[in-house]
Amino acid sequence: MSTSPVPVKPPSILTIERILCPVDFSEFSAKAYDYALSLAHHYRAKLFLEHVVQPITSPYPYYAFPDSWSEIYWNLDAHADTELKRLVQTHCWNGVQPDLVVHRGPVPASILSFADVQSVDLIVMGTHGRQGLDRLAMGSVTEKLLRKARCPVLVVRKPVHDFVAHDKGKDPVRLRRVLLCTDFSESSERALKYALSLAMEYNSELTLLHVLEQIPDSAGFQQATSQSIEKMQKLVPPDADNWCSIRSAVRLGKPYQEIVQFALEAETDLIVMGVRGRNTLDIALFGSTAHRVIQLGSCPVLAVHV
């Protein structure tokens, strides 16, 4: 009786060697650290855990702080180091030991500078959720990192359904369903590499989603849907479905609304999106889709720059 050979897992389609996780000791950054731990294990990457001590500033340029305030500021370094060690002790898995780093300075600039110096491949960070109208006003640190980082940024906010677990000896991240949003641009093609790699590493279901914005009639929708699915199927390399389940989907409407709704209905665990550009000229392009998906979505979002 012959048995079919077990398919050999293809070499990783991307390399993640250095991961940076900035934390502010909130529940959001602690959750982000769980993701960073899991990713560092799967990709055998070096993990940096960073806290930035913000300088004490005064609105009055000639005002001098009392010596007691200066002493408090300098003591913040020691406090931050203690809190980093505590976070590592309470969130540990599979022997992953991060490098602990404390910096002083403006928070976004310090994180970006350290990421550049260390040639970081991925930044994993938590962001505080917003409510009501304020949900579209993303925090300044997250916003600046998303626009200026030279590597992909995984943004973790409190999800609608939580798939981070702390069972002893088990991976804290249960990544079952990954959603790639594609508009067939260069940025979304690059994002596909990350989505495929993550789906293969975690043996997840990967869905490629394309949103059609304007279709004149039902016949046009049927034709555009068929063409879009065919294009998405051609993007996936051969044998990828040996290691993850892959399917395609098409929706009609505003891209960010359809992405958010689809992710909620499918109980998606991670959204992967391509982002065009890193400068202020691209603010409208970025804000129109990725910005809103990050703020309104039900799960973490990995933003991948060209």
Query: Can you tell me the mean pLDDT for 204-213?
Result: 95
- DSSP states of 231-292: HHHHHSPTTGGGTSEEEEEEEES-HHHHHHHHHHHTT-SEEEEEE--SSGGGHHHHIIIIIH
pLDDT, tens digit, for every residue of 168-187?
A: 556 778 889 999 999 998 88
- Alpha-carbon distance values, 195 to 124, 157, 163, 205, 275 (Å): 15, 19, 18, 10, 14
Query: Can you tell me the mean pLDDT for 13-26?
Result: 91
Position 291 pLDDT exceeds 60 = yes
pLDDT, tens digit, for every residue of 230-254?
A: 999 999 988 888 888 999 999 999 9
Report pLDDT for 35.
92
**Residue 268: burial class (beta carbons within 10 Å; 0-12, 13-18, 19+):** buried
All domains of the chain in start order, with CATH = 14-158 (3.40.50.620), 168-306 (3.40.50.620)
pLDDT band at 131 (very low <50, low <70, confident <90, very high): very low
pLDDT band at 275 (very low <50, low <70, confident <90, very high): confident
